[in-house]
Chain A
Amino acid sequence: MKLIKENTLSPELPDFFQEFTKPTKANAGIPDVSRRDFFKISGIAGGGLVIGMAIGNSPKAKAQGSELSTLSPYVQIQTNGRVNLFSKNPECGQGIKTGLPLIIAEELDCAWEDVDVVQADIDATRYGVQFAGGSLSTPMNWMAMRQAGATARAMILTAASQQLDIPVSELSTSNTKVQHAASGREWSYGEFAELAATIPVPDPSSLTLKSFDQFKLLGRRFTGVDNYDIVQGKPLFGADTQMEGMLYATYTKSAQIGGRARSFNEDHIKAMPGVVDAFIIDEVGNPKGFNTATGDMFSGVAIVAESTWAAIKAKRELEIDWDLSNAETATWDDLVDQARAIQHSDGEPLMMLAGGPGASIPTDNPASKGDAEAVMESADQVLSAFYEYPYVSHAQLEPETCTALYENGSIEIWAPAQIPQGGESSAAALLGVPQEEAAERVVLHQTRIGGGFGRKLANDFVSEVTAIAQRMEGIPIKLQWTREDDMSGDFFRPGGFHSYKAALDGQGNLVAWQDHFMTSTMNDVTPMTSADLNASVFPMDVIDNVKLTQTMFKNAIPTGPMRAPASNAFAFTFQGFMHELAVASGKSHVEFLMDTLGEPGLANPENPGSMHTGRAANVISEVARISGYEQDDNEAGRAKGLSFYFCHSGYVAQVADVSVSANKEVKVHKVWAVADFGFIHNLSGAENQMEGGIIDGISQLFNSKITFENGIIQQQNFHQYPLLRMPQTPELEIAFLQPEEFSPTGAGEPSMPPVLAAVTNAIYNATGERIRKLPLYELGYKLV
């Protein structure tokens, strides 16, 4: 039997995830999957088996009072044989609403066509943490979903045995049916659903999970469970929430980030057609800092109107007097000047941060190791290079929107939120709801998310609608940000700078690495969110002599995680410089990477979540093979480029085939990608993430740049921040290596980073021009 080994996830949960996983008012902690009492059974109206994960009673379930919410299960088997599977995490395009139920269905041994998928409501006591981020939804839930399915199957079998008076050992299951081989008979699960609901929950240790080669569903391609509704325009998204008597709101904040509204042309605005009310909301907390659960929000002016259009029209006529005493004054070009001025000097020694990316406290442990300076003194070759990249906006297509009804001290919210439990915490904090009452007084329903990419990890828009709904008690309020609100009010991917130096020995081997990393801070202690460098980035994780220093520029332009935080920029800088070194080494690019990776094994033997050099080597050699990268077929103006990156436990190598014309028009003809995300359980979903990641990366590479002047964001909409369109889309070829001993890791984030350097390395191979600065349009390149 082939076993599937649990992958060890890396890195650890970043702070902004840990923040809401701590036991809080709405969160009783993370259920322990091994606990005997983890599964709770209840009967449902009409009969049937319900299996949910419940620890104690859920006050929220009582508060909601409806049939599904009361039970909040993973599995319902109805007497008619239909199976309801509940998907716990938010769906933002990563395919989790299809992916998690598929895992349950596999172990439950049901036919996929017998399954209806239901989006679970938010309930930490039953579902543990529910969020969409870190490419963690699949790996964190893989085993729990299998156990949920296997538990239900075991109970059906026990019930069938009792009902039929046939020993369990003579029964088997397939396609939502119990089968008895000896007699050739079979019965629908539905026939045993009612009795199964009375069967004691089996101990998880008594369950036999399927082996890899017994999977019937997992590993195939499945179309998304919401696709039938999506293609008909059915209401699914946060923006689609409609309620009787609902009013529509806009919220206008200071263009100079952090301004506080003092007064506005209230009489004029309130007299405009369709306007119901308009008012100032004060700043709460420290809204420039990325926050998911604390209710921090910027000051602004809310307009509540009878239609979205009336609210937008009035918004356009707002004249607001801002107190700018605490507003941002940073200018991007100034940061660039400061960084360039110090590129030839060292910064402060970089310290390891506690708790992984996004962590808050530098430790006493320096991130440097070995003696890079000494090695460079005696090295055969020393190369240096300065890389820079700008701030970038998420630009998810659904601008922030949220609906809420506040009544009698309680609030009900419908939110397209990547951390919906943080949305509840935010609302509770803003409303002053004490911890012990939060579960009953703050209820959030998760909707489908019209694109997340990390933007909707922040719950500022949930906080805003909470504050507006509180003021408009008894009336459902839908808050709609405009695209301009979104683009100028983002938690941006931070810009940054790397001044690299690296040494090669006489054999062209990489022997020392140095990086002076330049980033931003609002507190002089830690970098802004997702603006930190850690020492585990390849190749620093596999070489012995690394010197890391850091300079932090003081500003508080809001930043936050964006698809593959940090990696989305580091893959360009690190793998661009690695290609420079490969060229200098005299070896082929692939040979240089292989020699740097060395013997197969963990980069850090003490950390099972660290990069495995053997898995890295496998994706590199496979992408080189399928793309013909090692064939010497580059020609003037057309060449291939390669890049590799490891992040979110995923290994991805990509090759781009690129033409560059005399006037710098770039055509990306094709991109090959080979990934190792462990076992792929929905092939279509994984391919979708890889296809999207590659095109997302190319789009950012050429066109994405957010700038600020005196704290004012300069880009407002897609005419100033263009996204890649269909004519610029390359052909894609995707392959997954699936070592059988590894369970699945996430695909959404690691799919994206390598392609930027694959394209820039290809441009170098085609033209000899080395690209060390993004985006490419600023260097005169145009993607065609």
Chain B
Amino acid sequence: MATLNINGQTMDIGEIDPSTPLLWVLRDELGLVGTKYGCGIAQCGACTVHLDGAPVRSCQIPVGNLSEQQITTIEGLAADGTLTPVQEAWIEIDVPQCGYCQAGQIMSATALLNTNSNPSDAEIDAAMSGNICRCATYTRIRQAIKNAAAKMNGTAFYNAAEGGELA
């Protein structure tokens, strides 16, 4: 019986077609539906998860290619019940519109900040350019990443209360 290391746990996935993309194993077999299907061809980034800390498109990874890697999904970020600075910033800036792409956006942003604690605009753009937001929340995503970086670095950050607080 095959197993995967997901969000710090070893999970049985039973006898499964090894060509099955990780995306569908997460969603259909393990009930981890936070990772989303958007295009199936690595164009939209809705299915982004971390593989040993690096952002990858789970629609392109056959589960048969996985063995010991540590997989982190959106459900694993606040596994202990405490939101990460990125998740907090997303709420404070009111980033989501429909919200469907945001798990992928948050996984890409989290991976960026894990390797670069103070990214420039250009570095943010580059790291996030694989994630489509059809509702076009890009300006808020950019701001939320900066706020999250500031939180992590203990520096001041943009306050949405300027001109009206965000409840």
A, B in one complex: yes
Nearest A residue to B28, CB-CB: A307
Contact B165 A696 (CB under 8 A): no
Q: Known: A232-B78, A309-B17. Contact between A240 and B165, CB under 8 A?
A: no
Residues on A with C-beta less than 8 A from B77 are 232
Q: Known: A227-B90, A233-B73, A718-B132. Contact between A221 and B167, CB under 8 A?
A: yes
Interface size class of A (residues with CB under 8 A): 35 or more
Q: Which of B90, B101, B139, B164 has the most chain A CB within a 10 Å cutoff?
A: B139
Tell me, rounded to whole Å, the shortest Cβ–Cβ distance linking B152 to chain A.
Answer: 16
Contact B27 A221 (CB under 8 A): no
Task: State in angstroms the CA–CA spacing of A398 and B135 once bound together.
Answer: 11
B74 at the interface (CB under 8 A from A): yes
Tell me, rounded to whole Å, the shortest Cβ–Cβ distance linking B119 to chain A.
Answer: 12
- From A318-326, A687-695, A737-745, give the one contacting chain B: A687-695
Contact B75 A396 (CB under 8 A): no
Contact A688 B140 (CB under 8 A): yes
Contact A220 B167 (CB under 8 A): yes
Contact B134 A395 (CB under 8 A): yes
Task: State in angstroms the CA–CA spacing of A449 and B37 once bound together.
Answer: 14
Contact B75 A95 (CB under 8 A): no
Contact A699 B136 (CB under 8 A): yes
Residues on A with C-beta less than 8 A from B117 are none
Chain A stretch 705-745: residues in CB contact (< 8 A) with chain B: 717-719, 723-727, 729, 731-732
A310 at the interface (CB under 8 A from B): yes
- 0/1 string, B22-61, CB within 8 A of A gives 1: 0010011101111111111101101000000000000000
Q: Known: A307-B28, A399-B37, A684-B166. Contact between A223 and B92, CB under 8 A?
A: yes
Contact B33 A235 (CB under 8 A): yes
Residues on B with C-beta less than 8 A from A126 are none
A472 at the interface (CB under 8 A from B): no
A112 at the interface (CB under 8 A from B): yes
A662 at the interface (CB under 8 A from B): no
Nearest B residue to A725, CB-CB: B129
Nearest B residue to A729, CB-CB: B138
Tell me, rounded to whole Å, the shortest Cβ–Cβ distance linking A395 to chain B.
Answer: 6
Contact residue among B33, B124, B142 (Cβ-Cβ distance under 8 Å from A239): B33
Nearest B residue to A398, CB-CB: B100
Contact B125 A222 (CB under 8 A): no
Residues on A with C-beta less than 8 A from B103 are 230, 233
Residues on B with C-beta less than 8 A from A483 are 38-41
Q: Known: A220-B165, A233-B35, A450-B36. Contact between A688 and B94, CB under 8 A?
A: yes
Chain B stretch 62-91: residues in CB contact (< 8 A) with chain A: 73-75, 77-78, 83, 87, 90-91
Task: State in angstroms the CA–CA spacing of A717 and B17 once bound together.
Answer: 25
Contact residue among B43, B102, B125 (Cβ-Cβ distance under 8 Å from A230): B102
Contact B167 A727 (CB under 8 A): no
Contact residue among A113, A397, A691, A729 (Cβ-Cβ distance under 8 Å from B46): A397
B19 at the interface (CB under 8 A from A): yes
B8 at the interface (CB under 8 A from A): no
Chain B stretch 83-118: residues in CB contact (< 8 A) with chain A: 83, 87, 90-103, 106
B128 at the interface (CB under 8 A from A): yes
Task: State in angstroms the CA–CA spacing of A228 and B98 once bound together.
Answer: 13
Contact A718 B43 (CB under 8 A): yes
Contact A221 B28 (CB under 8 A): no
For chain B, the count of residues having a C-beta within 8 Å of the partner chain is: 66
Q: Known: A224-B94, A398-B100, A729-B139. Contact between A718 and B39, CB under 8 A?
A: yes
Residues on B with C-beta less than 8 A from A688 are 94, 97, 135, 137, 140
Contact B97 A696 (CB under 8 A): no
Contact B139 A691 (CB under 8 A): yes
Contact A726 B37 (CB under 8 A): no
Nearest B residue to A241, CB-CB: B33
Contact A221 B160 (CB under 8 A): yes
Q: How many A-B pairs fall under 8 Å by CB? A: 208
Contact B96 A224 (CB under 8 A): yes
Nearest A residue to B128, CB-CB: A726
Tell me, rounded to whole Å, the shortest Cβ–Cβ distance linking B58 to chain A.
Answer: 12
B20 at the interface (CB under 8 A from A): yes
Chain A stretch 212-252: residues in CB contact (< 8 A) with chain B: 217, 219-224, 226-228, 230-237, 239-240, 242, 248
Tell me, rounded to whole Å, the shortest Cβ–Cβ distance linking A135 to chain B.
Answer: 14
Task: State in angstroms the CA–CA spacing of A242 and B32 once bound together.
Answer: 10
Contact residue among A248, A397, A699, A725 (Cβ-Cβ distance under 8 Å from B100): A397
Chain B stretch 112-167: residues in CB contact (< 8 A) with chain A: 124-126, 128-129, 131-142, 160, 164-167
Task: State in angstroms the CA–CA spacing of A112 and B34 once bound together.
Answer: 27
Residues on A with C-beta less than 8 A from B78 are 232
Residues on B with C-beta less than 8 A from A718 are 39, 41, 43-44, 132
Residues on A with C-beta less than 8 A from B73 are 233
Contact B140 A222 (CB under 8 A): no
Residues on A with C-beta less than 8 A from B98 are 91-93, 396-398, 448-452
Residues on A with C-beta less than 8 A from B35 are 233
Residues on B with C-beta less than 8 A from A482 are 40
Contact residue among A220, A396, A696 (Cβ-Cβ distance under 8 Å from B164): A220
Tell me, rounded to whole Å, the shortest Cβ–Cβ distance linking A48 to chain B.
Answer: 24
Contact residue among B96, B141, B142, B164 (Cβ-Cβ distance under 8 Å from A226): B96
A308 at the interface (CB under 8 A from B): yes
Contact residue among B33, B92, B140 (Cβ-Cβ distance under 8 Å from A233): B33
Contact residue among B75, B93, B95, B166 (Cβ-Cβ distance under 8 Å from A232): B75
A429 at the interface (CB under 8 A from B): no
Nearest A residue to B103, CB-CB: A233
Tell me, rounded to whole Å, the shortest Cβ–Cβ distance linking B17 to chain A.
Answer: 6
- 0/1 string, A278-316, CB within 8 A of B gives 1: 000000000000000000000000000001111011000
Tell me, rounded to whole Å, the shortest Cβ–Cβ distance linking A402 to chain B.
Answer: 14
Contact residue among B31, B44, B91, B101 (Cβ-Cβ distance under 8 Å from A242): B31
The 4 closest A-B pairs by CB, nearest first: A233-B34, A93-B98, A450-B100, A233-B74
Interface residues of A (CB under 8 A from B): 91-95, 112-113, 217, 219-224, 226-228, 230-237, 239-240, 242, 248, 273-274, 307-310, 312-313, 395-399, 448-453, 480, 482-483, 683-685, 688-689, 691-692, 694-696, 699, 717-719, 723-727, 729, 731-732
Interface residues of B (CB under 8 A from A): 17, 19-21, 24, 27-29, 31-41, 43-44, 46, 73-75, 77-78, 83, 87, 90-103, 106, 124-126, 128-129, 131-142, 160, 164-167
Given A223-B166, A310-B17, A313-B17, 8 extra CB contacts under 8 A = A91-B98, A308-B24, A397-B100, A450-B98, A724-B136, A726-B124, A726-B142, A732-B139
Could you pull out 19 A-B pairs where Cβ atoms are within 8 angstroms?
A: A94-B97, A220-B167, A223-B91, A223-B167, A228-B91, A233-B73, A307-B28, A308-B27, A308-B28, A309-B20, A397-B44, A450-B98, A451-B100, A452-B98, A694-B136, A695-B138, A699-B136, A717-B43, A723-B132
